[in-house]
Chain A
Amino acid sequence: MSDPQPEPDVAELGVPVVEVERLEVNFKGRVGFFAGLLGRKGSDAKAVDGVSITLHEGEVLALAGESGCGKTTTARAIMGLLIPDAGTIRYRGEPLARSRRGLRGYRRQVQMVFQDPTAALNPRQTIYEIVAEGLRIHGVPGGPDAKTEDELVARALSRAGLRPPERFYLLYPHELSGGQRQRVVIAGALVVDPSVIVADEPVSNLDASVRGEILALLMKLREEFRISILIVTHDLGLAWTVADRVAVMYLGRVVEVGPAEEVLQRPKHPYTKALLNVVPEAGGTERPILQGEPPDPTRIPKGCRFHPRCPVVASGRAERIGILNRCVGEDLALEELAPGHDVACYLTGLGEEP
């Protein structure tokens, strides 16, 4: 992995671009056709339950957590791909429109990069068609430095590192390598000059050898075009490498958010700490200390959602310091611990380290 990027100070944060406030997304339980006829109902799942995060201009924000914690759902809600049950999402201060026409301008600004580039590319379209699609939807920008569609596609491809671009025009996705495919996905996002890119596990499906290249490409985009990037990842090591700020999610809630340096070197939440335990960059021991069932969004525990797996509870320390009742019984919110560093844990109120 490349060296850690220099993190900007909290004070240097740009203006907020995307603000998510108290976002809630529920999934209706789905049952089979015949079970439905029998009147059975599936159990609902609270995938996202009151998430608030802010993405600033030119910032790389990592949204981290285990699978099932709601990070991808949050990203899709930000993309407008699903309608939240509650909460607001604002783009440069304006709440997102619900109408298709209203979302159109927003969708030009916010582009998405998926985990599996093979699946994210329509196998029946050429690279040119794929990259040009955004332009065809949103129109080729006019103005004094107007360019043709062809030129814009070429520019996007070369910005994404596919040079010479003309060589790729008529190829199909299956004719490219995994890394090249992810570059095509990125080019397809870049072609409309977005201000935000939401990348959902952008490198986890790629060979280790090309991960660094793709990450470097994303960083370069941030540097050169001041594009804000939201990276959804299960890998805190990756967040460590690229992110300015990190938000750690557990069972539909953000449990800790703050500058990457701060959160990853001095985690305040036992969950963050547990995750970091397997990250070598953070001096982890590679010995997982997380135990118990992976979280199930259809059965959310009372109190602190993490308590069934929390090492502080399991070791008896919570009982000793007298917070156990609250841990297992009282819901809790994020509290600011330091400027820009928020944590949701009863330990912090006591000034205890996890």
Chain B
Amino acid sequence: MTPQRIAQIEHDQGLDRPLPQQFVVYAENTLTGRFGISFVTNESVTTVIARAIWPTVLLVGSATLISTFFGLWAGIKGAWGRGSLFDTTSLFGSLVLYSAPEGWLGMILLIIFVGTFHWFPAGQMSSNTGQTGIANVLDILSHLFLPCMTLVLGYIGEYTIIMRSSLLEVMGEDFVMTARAKGVPDRLVRRSHAVPNALLPTLTLVFYSFGFILGGSVIVEAVFSWPGLGLLTYRAIQDLDYNVIQAVFLLFSLAVIAFNLAADITYGYLDPRVREA
């Protein structure tokens, strides 16, 4: 590459201007939604991100939904039968899963379900055989299975532990005792007194982590070559694709802020004490 060509690229990218001016230009471009082009693919960053956003929503969305459902279920069941075999087992399992790195979990699932049993695809989002309709949806689901399971296993432990401890705390509260003393049936005590109050901190956590796992699925998406924002980030960092990196990090920050806001709004909706304040 000649120095002339380099000077030309620097000029095109605005890198020959003084730093404060570069910042103003960056701020202006960002606020007007212009993120520039990817150095690697020469496409506009908006296109690159738009392509990656749905796969991530699908993966993270389904994983969050499933892990929340089962995590809360196990946490509730564990706390309600504290000390039972189920509780001990699920608590131990949760601690193990909570501490297991996602990349490692993914590798284990790969070795078991792909290398040994040949059940699921090792990566990607579709077989790229041009099928359509229901066959295409099923093809995507079979590709979704392993990365989704990895994320589910990664998050379920945390949800179980938080739900369990927050329900245990609520179960010690006098209003639960009052309800029991009044003769409210056990299941109803759990459903209308204990769980709704214990859900508050857990759901807040779910919302917060939703904001983070948009970016936090980087490892899992890289292990399974899932074409979402995480993989985009992973590759952009490897390739030093600064425009893409800037845009995805901005997106991740916005996601965290948005989900924090959503959590606050939901909290207000669910908890009358917060609603008034």
CB–CB under 8 A between A and B in the complex?
A: yes
Question: Chain A: residues with CB nearer than 8 A to chain B?
Answer: 33, 76, 79-81, 100, 103-104, 107-108, 111-112, 114-116, 119-124, 133-134, 137-138, 172, 174-175, 185, 188, 192
User: Do residues B273 and A122 form an inter-chain contact, with CB atoms below 8 A?
Assistant: no
Selected from B88, B178, B271, the residue in CB contact (under 8 A) with A123 is B271
Interface of B is mostly: helix
Complex formed: what's the CA distance from A222 to B177 in Å? 24
User: Do residues A114 and B276 form an inter-chain contact, with CB atoms below 8 A?
Assistant: no
User: Do residues B181 and A111 form an inter-chain contact, with CB atoms below 8 A?
Assistant: yes
Given known contacts A33-B91, A112-B178, A123 and B184 CB-to-CB distance under 8 angstroms: no
A-B contact pairs, 24 of them (CB 8 A): A33-B91, A103-B183, A104-B183, A107-B183, A108-B183, A112-B178, A112-B182, A114-B177, A119-B173, A120-B174, A121-B175, A121-B178, A122-B175, A122-B197, A123-B271, A133-B179, A133-B182, A134-B182, A134-B183, A137-B182, A137-B185, A174-B273, A185-B178, A188-B178
Q: Which residues of B contact A192 (CB under 8 A)?
A: 182
- Chain B 163-182 against A: per-residue CB contact (8 Å), 1 yes, 0 no? 00000000001110111111
Complex formed: what's the CA distance from A50 to B181 in Å? 23
Given known contacts A124-B196, A175-B276, A111 and B270 CB-to-CB distance under 8 angstroms: no
Complex formed: what's the CA distance from A76 to B174 in Å? 12
User: Do residues B178 and A124 form an inter-chain contact, with CB atoms below 8 A?
Assistant: no
Selected from A104, A172, A185, the residue in CB contact (under 8 A) with B273 is A172
Name the residue of chain A whose CB is nearest to the CB of B180.
Answer: A81
Q: Which residues of B contact A185 (CB under 8 A)?
A: 178
Distance in angstroms from A108 CB to nearest chain B CB is 7
Complex formed: what's the CA distance from A235 to B156 in Å? 48
User: Do residues A133 and B181 form an inter-chain contact, with CB atoms below 8 A?
Assistant: no
Distance in angstroms from A206 CB to nearest chain B CB is 14
Given known contacts A81-B177, A119-B174, A122-B193, A107 and B182 CB-to-CB distance under 8 angstroms: yes
Complex formed: what's the CA distance from A145 to B223 in Å? 72
User: Do residues B182 and A111 form an inter-chain contact, with CB atoms below 8 A?
Assistant: yes
Distance in angstroms from B268 CB to nearest chain A CB is 12
B130 within 8 A of A: no
User: Do residues B184 and A133 form an inter-chain contact, with CB atoms below 8 A?
Assistant: yes
Q: Which residues of B contact A103 (CB under 8 A)?
A: 183
Question: Most chain-A Cβ atoms within 10 A of its Cβ — which of B179, B183, B185, B276?
Answer: B183
Distance in angstroms from B78 CB to nearest chain A CB is 12
Q: Which residues of A contact B182 (CB under 8 A)?
A: 107, 111-112, 133-134, 137, 188, 192
Complex formed: what's the CA distance from A188 to B174 in Å? 14
Distance in angstroms from B173 CB to nearest chain A CB is 5
User: Do residues A174 and B174 form an inter-chain contact, with CB atoms below 8 A?
Assistant: no
Distance in angstroms from B270 CB to nearest chain A CB is 7
Selected from B184, B272, B276, the residue in CB contact (under 8 A) with A124 is B272
Given known contacts A81-B177, A120-B178, A185-B178, A138 and B272 CB-to-CB distance under 8 angstroms: no
User: Do residues A124 and B181 form an inter-chain contact, with CB atoms below 8 A?
Assistant: no
Name the residue of chain B whose CB is nearest to the CB of A134.
Answer: B182
Q: Which residues of B contact A122 (CB under 8 A)?
A: 175, 179, 193, 197
Q: Which residues of A contact B180 (CB under 8 A)?
A: 81
User: Do residues B181 and A123 form an inter-chain contact, with CB atoms below 8 A?
Assistant: no
Selected from A100, A119, A134, the residue in CB contact (under 8 A) with B175 is A119
Complex formed: what's the CA distance from A172 to B272 in Å? 7
User: Do residues B181 and A81 form an inter-chain contact, with CB atoms below 8 A?
Assistant: yes
Selected from B91, B175, B183, B271, the residue in CB contact (under 8 A) with A120 is B175
Q: Which residues of B contact A108 (CB under 8 A)?
A: 183
Question: Most chain-B Cβ atoms within 10 A of its Cβ — which of A100, A115, A124?
Answer: A124
Question: Most chain-B Cβ atoms within 10 A of its Cβ — which of A80, A100, A122, A174?
Answer: A122
Q: Which residues of A contact B88 (CB under 8 A)?
A: 33
User: Do residues B177 and A124 form an inter-chain contact, with CB atoms below 8 A?
Assistant: no
Question: Besides the contacts A100-B185, A133-B182, A172-B276, what 6 more A-B pairs have beta carbons closer than 8 Å?
Answer: A100-B186, A120-B175, A124-B196, A138-B183, A174-B276, A175-B276
User: Do residues A114 and B178 form an inter-chain contact, with CB atoms below 8 A?
Assistant: yes
Name the residue of chain A whose CB is nearest to the CB of B196.
Answer: A124
Complex formed: what's the CA distance from A112 to B183 in Å? 11
Q: Which residues of B contact A81 (CB under 8 A)?
A: 177, 180-181
User: Do residues A79 and B184 form an inter-chain contact, with CB atoms below 8 A?
Assistant: no
Name the residue of chain A whose CB is nearest to the CB of B188.
Answer: A137
Q: Which residues of B contact A120 (CB under 8 A)?
A: 174-175, 177-178
Complex formed: what's the CA distance from A100 to B189 in Å? 13
Name the residue of chain A whose CB is nearest to the CB of B178.
Answer: A120
Q: Which residues of A contact B184 (CB under 8 A)?
A: 133, 137
Complex formed: what's the CA distance from A100 to B197 in Å? 24
Distance in angstroms from A143 CB to nearest chain B CB is 20
User: Do residues A116 and B174 form an inter-chain contact, with CB atoms below 8 A?
Assistant: yes
Given known contacts A123-B197, A124-B272, A174-B276, A107 and B181 CB-to-CB distance under 8 angstroms: yes
Q: Which residues of B contact A188 (CB under 8 A)?
A: 178, 182
Q: Which residues of A contact B175 (CB under 8 A)?
A: 119-123
In residues 227-277 of chain B, which contact A (Cβ within 8 Å)?
Answer: 270-273, 276
Complex formed: what's the CA distance from A120 to B272 in Å? 16
Q: Which residues of A contact B174 (CB under 8 A)?
A: 114-116, 119-120
Distance in angstroms from B176 CB to nearest chain A CB is 8
Distance in angstroms from B265 CB to nearest chain A CB is 16
Distance in angstroms from A41 CB to nearest chain B CB is 13
Q: Which residues of A contact B179 (CB under 8 A)?
A: 122, 133
Distance in angstroms from A160 CB to nearest chain B CB is 15
Q: Which residues of B contact A124 (CB under 8 A)?
A: 196-197, 270-272
Complex formed: what's the CA distance from A344 to B185 in Å? 40
Selected from A114, A134, A174, the residue in CB contact (under 8 A) with B272 is A174
Q: Which 3 A-B pairs have the closest CB atoms?
A: A107-B183, A120-B174, A119-B174
